Structure 1
Amino acid sequence: MTVATRPLIVNSDRLNRSIMELAEVGQLLNGGICRIAFSDEDRLARQRVQHWMREAGMSVRIDAAGNIIGHYAGKRDGAAALATGSHIDTVPVGGRYDGCLGVLAGLEVVRVLHENNLRLNHPIEVIVFTDEERSVIGSKAMAGEIKEGPEYYCRLNGQPIQPCLEKIGGNWSQIHTARRDRSQIAAFVELHVEQGGVLEHLKLPVGVVTGVVGQYRFAVDVIGRPNHAGTTPMDMRQDALVAAAHVVLAVNKIAVETPGNQVATVGYLNVSPNSTNTVPGRVDLRIDLRDLSQEHLEYLVERIQQELATIAAHTGTEITMRQTLHILPTLSASHIMGAIEQVCEEMGLKYIHIPSRAGHDAQEIGRITDMGMIFVPSRGGISHSELEYTSPEECTQGANVLLKTFLKLDQTYA
């Protein structure tokens, strides 16, 4: 029987059992998960996933960036792979689903094909990317985007990246060999929990991701003049914190009132000298700005710079803005979005088009090949927490959408 006529669905019990079993590695007393990249827990989880890949009939290799690549051969010689995957490392107190669902759903797709003795025209690759939560070094290396020296990837505890990669089978000196291209990966589709509350709020089971937003971060330095809080008249002050407050409100106003779907946040303030009876002399604050359009992001940055100049003149302070991060947006391929939409309609699942405002490995891989993403709901919009939850039914629906999307894409690519 051919793939086109055989109804295929994932094994829900097996998928969700795998999620629970992987969550046992690094489980905390509060129910959260701690699997920091390169830790003993991360290495144990990686071993477990590799074992499952081999059981599912996949060959497994580790590239120089430490990425685990499970390969399920296709029928067509020399065909580029249809790839999926995500990450299994976590933040210090993470949940069971962030990243892990994408890896294990990809594994389940291969398990279904393997147990039915089926091969697609294209090979399928399930990829576990290295250190998504902090450096995104795995997917950056695969996209050929490692531009920095090893010191850039030094761990928070000061440990160099070289021995970290060695512990998981990688090799910094050969990291350039991890680069892939379109001739090797025809398309990449990542299933992920939304990590936000839109789908739950709208009571929709699936989000068809339109792209992963670009991001700017800026360090803003506001310099005033510290002085005695009791003896300095209000009209003679150069209060850096007052100026900073205007900056916070201006950033929020620009994001709210400018047409579009941008988000802007000031989530960090450091006040000096931070004394109750002293007029603040200096404030360090940070701006996070995100949107799906690079052109629109540049427009917003220009608006913010104009506002800062006005605020500085009005408050008698000096305000400088220094870029600390710039990540280009990555748009989803329209034909992959179309395939996901068709699958949802065939399955009777309502969906919405939604941007991803969090970063994902798909953002980097989308720089070298066609990319798409599927979102399933996160209860309460909570992620990076022990309270992170996506129901077994929602995980299964997402995995079935992924499976059926691969079956469509297998006919799309030559």
Structure 2
Amino acid sequence: MGERMVELNPVAERLEEDLTALSALHDPSSGGWTRTVFSEPYGHAREWVRSRMADAGLQVHSDAAGNVVGVLPGRDPAAPALMTGSHTDTVESGGRFDGIVGVLGSIEAVRLLRENDVRLERDLIVVDFLGEESNDFGLSCLGSRALAGELTPGHLERVDGEGVSLAERYSRFGIDPSEVLGAGSAWGPRRLHRYLELHIEQGPVLEERGTSVGVVTGIAGISRLVAGFVGRADHAGTAPMTTRQDALVAAARGVLAVRHVACGAPVHGVGTTSRLDSEPGSPNVVPGRVRMQAELRSVEPGWLSDAERRLSRQITEEAGELGVEVDLEWSTDNDVVPTHADVRQAITTTADGLGIDWEAIPSGATHDAAHLARLCPMGMIFVPSRAGRSHCPEEWTDTSAIATGVRLHAATLVALDRE
């Protein structure tokens, strides 16, 4: 980076207008700013994003995976392209910033490049990835997973709570599921140069330490658990407490075991039980069956695999003490993915040149970047989240903080283009 540092200053009012306009496109029947994948509000939001991309000067299309893609042509169309972006879907009762900042911030970066007559050597590709958030199919990052060639025919056969397959949901949303599986064929190892994603932290570290941006060191791996507890249904008024084989009590011990194992992580590890479904669910029947959903996350692969073994053993042993059988099914949502040293270096060098203070920080949340890492070196920039709140209506990041992140994001894209 011996050349002069490029300074591109975002227009805060324009960023805020975009955030306000996109947040208006949500499901009014649900809490927060709900815009789940395949929903009608999500479809409207993606049309809005297409329009904003086009207004910014991008050549816009939807790819085979259902991603909204905008291209800013560079001087050399044969050069491996830069890619950036994030997502605009939300969790149920979600917030206004998760993912959205990365999409709108990248569109603002394109505006700044064009307004300041900065022409990149490479194409710059801005993507609003389809369905990053986890869904009823137990599968996150649909669009980026497809690009990375990680979406399988088995995934398309999964069904949601209404018994509808993922393939059918794609079709109803206007996406050919047979083409989704081949979406990654367009992205060979030489097609992409670097991937850079701007995102809110979704945690409290940056705000607590008064740091402007975070340079992400790695993305946590996620191990998901579905545990089936089988006890014995009995009359709740007559079955003695000492002879009961209560599946819900065994599951409750499982919930506590998840917390206990996660609290013992030496560096970074979290565990969450998100759902318990009890049968028969009658107030006068001892629960005979319970289905529990939980997950473990960590940026330490060794801890994650060890925690799986210890948790499995503890849940099985404690259920056995209650006379309850348990079946454990583990699946990996994504492995631990470190960011690339070259991209981290570009971010930190650029931040230093712009006088922006930064801190190295891991990501406990997963992101589309985790899958793009299969295609090219990737990195991420975090901006602070108020009180660390995310995936809730209270999620908030100040516009000034977003503007700082966009300023660094845009300048880093220029630096990566010159590599």
Q: Deviations over 1:136-175 (max 9, x none)?
A: 3211111111112574366665666567656776432322
For normalisation by structure 2, the TM-score amounts to 0.87
**Does residue 151 of structure 2 align to residue 152 of structure 1?**
no
**What does residue range 1-400 of structure 1 map to in structure 2 within 5 Å?**
4=4, 6-26=6-26, 28=28, 32-133=32-133, 134=135, 135=139, 136-149=141-154, 151-152=156-157, 165=170, 170-179=175-184, 180-227=187-234, 234-274=241-281, 279-323=286-330, 326-400=333-407
Aligned equivalents of 2:246 and 2:161: distance in 1? Answer: 34
Alignment gaps of 5+ in structure 2: none
Aligned equivalents of 2:88 and 2:249: distance in 1? Answer: 43
Could you say what secondary structure the match of 2:132 adopts? coil
Q: Do 1:89 and 1:132's aligned partners in 2 also have CA atoms closer than 8 Å?
A: yes
Aligned equivalents of 1:380 and 1:342: distance in 2? Answer: 28
1:202 Cα deviation from its structure 2 partner: 3.0
Seq. identity, %: 37
Q: Deviations over 1:184-238 (max 9, x none)?
A: 1111111111223332233322222222212122122233344455665554444
Q: Do 1:181 and 1:369's aligned partners in 2 also have CA atoms closer than 8 Å?
A: no
Aligned equivalents of 1:223 and 1:38: distance in 2? Answer: 34
Aligned equivalents of 2:243 and 2:161: distance in 1? Answer: 43
Alignment gaps of 5+ in structure 1: none
Aligned amino acid, residue 11 of structure 2: N
Q: Do 2:86 and 2:100's aligned partners in 1 also have CA atoms closer than 8 Å?
A: yes
Aligned equivalents of 1:213 and 1:389: distance in 2? Answer: 22
Aligned equivalents of 1:165 and 1:274: distance in 2? Answer: 33
Q: Do 1:3 and 1:120's aligned partners in 2 also have CA atoms closer than 8 Å?
A: no
1:72 Cα deviation from its structure 2 partner: 1.1
1:30 Cα deviation from its structure 2 partner: 9.0
Could you say what secondary structure the match of 1:359 adopts? coil
Q: Deviations over 1:21-47 (max 9, x none)?
A: 222333749994343334443333323
Q: Do 1:330 and 1:367's aligned partners in 2 also have CA atoms closer than 8 Å?
A: no
Could you say what secondary structure the match of 1:386 adopts? coil
Aligned equivalents of 1:406 and 1:50: distance in 2? Answer: 21
Aligned equivalents of 2:160 and 2:79: distance in 1? Answer: 38
Tell me the number of residue pairs that the alignment of Structure 1 and Structure 2 aligns: 411
Q: RMSD value over aligned CA atoms?
A: 3.0
Aligned amino acid, residue 87 of structure 1: H
Q: Which sits farther off after the overlay, 13-22 or 40-49?
A: 40-49
Distance of aligned partners of 1:47 and 1:336 in 2 relative to their CA distance in 1, 3 Å threshold: same
Q: Deviations over 1:49-107 (max 9, x none)?
A: 22332333322222111212111122234111111101122334333222111111111
Distance of aligned partners of 1:80 and 1:167 in 2 relative to their CA distance in 1, 3 Å threshold: farther
Distance of aligned partners of 1:77 and 1:333 in 2 relative to their CA distance in 1, 3 Å threshold: same
Partner of 2:408: 401
Aligned equivalents of 2:31 and 2:236: distance in 1? Answer: 48
Q: Do 2:5 and 2:350's aligned partners in 1 also have CA atoms closer than 8 Å?
A: no
Aligned amino acid, residue 254 of structure 2: V
Aligned amino acid, residue 300 of structure 1: A
